[in-house]
Amino acid sequence: MKVYKTKDIKNIAIIGSSGSGKTTLAEAILFESGVIKRRGSVEAGNTVCDYFPVEKEYGYSVFSTLFSIEWKDKMMNFIDCPGSDDFVGGVISALHVTDTALMVIHAGNGVEVGTINQFRYTDSLHKPLVFLINQMDNEKADYDNTLNSLKEMYGNKVIPIQYPIGSGSHFAAIVDVLKQKMYKWNPGDTAPAVLDIPSEEKEKADELYRQLLEAAAENDETLMEKYFDQGTLSEEEMRDGIQKGLTSRSIFPVFCASSAKNMAVHRLMNFLSMVAPSPDQMPAPVDNAGNEVKPDPTAPTSLFFFKTTVEPHIGEVSYFKVMSGTVKEGDDLTNANRGSKERLAQIQTVAGQIRNRAEELQAGNIGAAVKLKDVRTGNTLNAKGVDHIFDFIKYPEPRYRRAIRPVNEANAEKLSEVLTRMREEDPTWIVENSKELKQTIVSGQGEFHLKTLKWRIENNDKIEIEFIEPRIPYRETITKAARADYRHKKQSGGAGQFGEVHLIVEPYSEGMPMPDIYRFNGQEYKVQARDVQEIDLDWGGKLVFVNSIVGGAIDARFLPAILKGIMGRMEQGPLTGSYARDVRVIVYDGKMHPVDSNEISFMLAGRNAFSIAFKNAGPKILEPIYDVTVSVPSEYLGDVMSDLQGRRALIMGMESEKGFEKLKAKVPLKEMSSYSTTLSSLTGGRASFTMKFASYELVPSDVQEKLLKEYEAQEKEE
């Protein structure tokens, strides 16, 4: 492949709902550009972009796939993204390294929740956006309805460049308003006949042309003047105006096609190659230090790695964008995130698994390198003279968690290595070896996400695994003050042990004053804080430890042991063995034995006195509550709402967004276990949700009862 200058590079992310036809479109683009001689199909499992075994197995894209073509003297780097919400990580990283988003919409399904979610990503990243209403040959195809939904959602920025003649089996032509031509496919023809617009379409085509003309003129003063002056613009001028409108997101051009029949794909490619902005026409990305990094091919080289995978028959492949400079084969670069040195023995341009060596890639271009030693997704490699780091990609919070374990315990270590690697490949995985829950928890974007993880571990790494219900990180606290004392005494055989601790516990909130008298069962207990330790607990909340010993009842050297005993119990709470928080403990009296008192005695006395007091202080279990936002088409709102109410949800509010409702609720984590699956079945996959930790709240008493019983039963088993 020849060396392309930055101005001749077009980077385009193909996004859109699952099943809208992105991978099939990619196949048509690769065929049109001559990279492949025959088109494969998703059904046959032989497409260029869905080449991972798990993708062939499930029949949908799991990973984003780069494919580069040469077209009309441009180098066009497309990234075919997965449509399922579960694989959103691939969409987000692709949008960060490309300049234009091509949103594919299924003409039969219209605007879907996937369309809306991904539109939001393009909006937050200010990405130029082109809509493709695809699958026009589908019997359910309804171009007008889809176009109207887009206009309702996104206003008059939505401008058709083309419209179809006929749909379903009658889809045989398109009118291209910009070209003022009709493209007609005669049965069996691969290329369309280019015809004048027939008279019966003239009025509609002229009206759309006028709208396009106005939209194009609006984005450039000179064009506006000429338009007002002469009432028209040349095709070239219109393209300039449309490009400005596209780049500033004031125009969302709309195309139509059938990617399965490879109809109108050629025309779309022409438009993108001429009108989509090149990297130097976009705002320059900013590195961590706040420096703008222009795609200047003469500057020192800086590469941002947006994807790393282990590929069948090749091993480690790392995908990068040249943020600045020109990378050449054999370059030595430094990993700014990990400090390691890398030699780029080979750089490639790729189309799925098709790889071509590239001598050099200039700023703005996208390529791959194989067998790098120490590169992870999100790393930046720099030549001498620059030390850019780009960690501008923010991935969404996980929405689905499961505990994972190998069927054969002997594979535990290997499994943890594999999980580490997967996490490095796909940052939307969170892998946590939870000491608290005594489980390895994998959190991802949904059930599909975990299903593919299981498939890959079992088929690629040959480790059989199982997912189990993850435990809930409950917390324990108290709701009133209580007093207890405990004598630990062991004076039979060997060194004796003796320690007696009297203490008061009470619920603690920030800055709460400490009274100097407590009353229990009509008796008064005077306390005087001689030493106060406020401890921020690793698991959240506080423990306040007050030494109120008078008259040397307990020697000061035993106080740390008492605290240690109490901390042991805070770590494994008296109710269900969960972490305890927000407690003040006042040690106000005790007894020692001149010989047998030692640290272990007071640790045990402290621990047991604390347990007794804790249990008498109205102990409560706290559960993690999450803020959940569900985006759902209005017709499913009732079902979704009642399902949430069945999950002890607190509905916090609702916003309508043109046919879609955005529901906000507070839901216990315990009730969210397989929410993504339920939501998908309740709404036919037409809804999505996000969830974020909000707070810890008291569990209802019936839930507390149940948890206490479960813990008792578990204790008996062990």
Quick one: tokens of 330?
A: 């054999």
Strand partners, 32: none
**Closest to 240 in 3D by CA, of 294, 206, 281, 208:** 281
Size of the site for ligand GTP (CB under 6 A): 23
- Closest contact distance (angstroms) between CB of 49 and ligand GTP is 8
Coil/strand/helix, residue 331: coil
**Closest to 143 in 3D by CA, of 191, 212, 208:** 208
Choose among Mg ion, ligand GTP, none what residue 64 binds, the Cβ cut-off being 5 to 8 Å by kind.
none
Strand partners, 305: 320
Coil/strand/helix, residue 284: coil
Q: Which residue from 6, 11, 20, 676 is in contact with ligand GTP, where contact means CB under 6 A?
A: 20
Beta carbon nearer to ligand GTP, 39 or 581: 39
Contact 378, 311 (CB under 8 A): no
**Closest to 501 in 3D by CA, of 598, 614, 592, 581:** 592
* Residues 6 or more apart whose Cβ sits within 8 Å of residue 375: 305, 308, 318, 335, 338, 342, 369, 381
CB atoms within 10 A of CB 685: 17
Element (H, E) at 628: strand 620-633
By CB under 6 A, residue 83 contacts ligand GTP: yes
- Closest contact distance (angstroms) between CB of 134 and ligand GTP is 5
Find the binding residues for ligand GTP in span 243-272 (CB under 6 A): 258-260
d(CA 98, CA 653): 36
By CB under 6 A, residue 42 contacts ligand GTP: yes
Find the binding residues for Mg ion in span 362-381 (CB under 5 A): none
Coil/strand/helix, residue 50: coil
Q: What are residue 292's phi and psi, to 5 degrees?
A: -75, 135
Choose among ligand GTP, Mg ion, none what residue 114 binds, the Cβ cut-off being 5 to 8 Å by kind.
none
Q: Token match 């062990």: residue?
A: 718
d(CA 711, CA 707): 6
Span of 21-29, 270-278, 563-571, 681-689 interacting with ligand GTP by CB under 6 A: 21-29
**From residue 40 to residue 79, what is the string marking binding to Mg ion with x (rule CB under 5 A)?**
---------------------x------------------
Beta carbon nearer to ligand GTP, 54 or 663: 54
Ramachandran bin of 196, using left for φ above 0, alpha for ψ from -120 to 50, beta for the remaining angles: beta
By CB under 5 A, residue 84 contacts Mg ion: no
Beta carbon nearer to Mg ion, 105 or 707: 105
Beta carbon nearer to ligand GTP, 59 or 515: 59
Q: Token match 């189990």: residue?
A: 468
Beta carbon nearer to Mg ion, 58 or 209: 58
Q: Which residue from 23, 162, 452, 680 is in contact with Mg ion, where contact means CB under 5 A?
A: 23
Beta carbon nearer to Mg ion, 114 or 499: 114
Span of 35-43, 245-253, 407-415, 650-658 interacting with ligand GTP by CB under 6 A: 35-43
Beta carbon nearer to Mg ion, 22 or 607: 22
Identity of residue 562: I
Where does 460-520 show beta strands of DSSP type E? 465-468, 475-477, 482-490, 497-507, 517-520
Choose among Mg ion, ligand GTP, none what residue 433 binds, the Cβ cut-off being 5 to 8 Å by kind.
none
- Closest contact distance (angstroms) between CB of 371 and ligand GTP is 28
d(CA 452, CA 202): 51
CB atoms within 10 A of CB 373: 11
Contact 576, 436 (CB under 8 A): no
d(CA 704, CA 612): 18
Choose among ligand GTP, Mg ion, none what residue 378 binds, the Cβ cut-off being 5 to 8 Å by kind.
none
- Closest contact distance (angstroms) between CB of 690 and ligand GTP is 19
Span of 80-88, 115-123, 477-485, 508-516 interacting with ligand GTP by CB under 6 A: 80-88
Beta carbon nearer to ligand GTP, 307 or 388: 307
Quick one: tokens of 671?
A: 């009730």
CB atoms within 10 A of CB 695: 11
Beta carbon nearer to ligand GTP, 135 or 377: 135
By CB under 6 A, residue 41 contacts ligand GTP: yes
User: What's the CA dihedral at 199, 200, 203, 206 to 10 degrees?
Assistant: -60
d(CA 571, CA 20): 50
- Closest contact distance (angstroms) between CB of 249 and ligand GTP is 23
By CB under 6 A, residue 190 contacts ligand GTP: no
Strand partners, 364: none
By CB under 6 A, residue 23 contacts ligand GTP: yes
For 43-59, give one letter per residue: b (16+ CB within 10 A) or e.
eeeebbbbbbebbeebe
Q: How far apart are the first and last CA of the chain?
A: 66
Beta carbon nearer to ligand GTP, 19 or 606: 19
- Closest contact distance (angstroms) between CB of 452 and ligand GTP is 12
By CB under 6 A, residue 342 contacts ligand GTP: no
Q: Which residue from 65, 138, 365, 598 is in contact with ligand GTP, where contact means CB under 6 A?
A: 138
Beta carbon nearer to ligand GTP, 164 or 285: 164
Span of 79-87, 310-318, 477-485, 515-523 interacting with ligand GTP by CB under 6 A: 79-87
Q: Which residue from 24, 278, 318, 704 is in contact with ligand GTP, where contact means CB under 6 A?
A: 24
Q: Which residue from 77, 134, 278, 380 is in contact with ligand GTP, where contact means CB under 6 A?
A: 134
For ligand GTP, which residue has the nearest CB? 83
d(CA 517, CA 57): 70
**Closest to 672 in 3D by CA, of 638, 637, 622, 630:** 630
- Closest contact distance (angstroms) between CB of 44 and ligand GTP is 9
Find the binding residues for Mg ion in span 507-566 (CB under 5 A): none
Choose among Mg ion, ligand GTP, none what residue 679 binds, the Cβ cut-off being 5 to 8 Å by kind.
none
* Residues 6 or more apart whose Cβ sits within 8 Å of residue 523: none
- Closest contact distance (angstroms) between CB of 28 and ligand GTP is 9
Beta carbon nearer to ligand GTP, 65 or 365: 65
Strand partners, 401: 443
Span of 40-48, 203-211, 501-509, 678-686 interacting with ligand GTP by CB under 6 A: 40-48
Beta carbon nearer to ligand GTP, 26 or 567: 26
- Closest contact distance (angstroms) between CB of 36 and ligand GTP is 15
Return residues touching Mg ion (CB under 5 A). Answer: 22-23, 61
Return residues touching ligand GTP (CB under 6 A). Answer: 16, 18-24, 41-43, 60-61, 82-84, 134-135, 137-138, 258-260
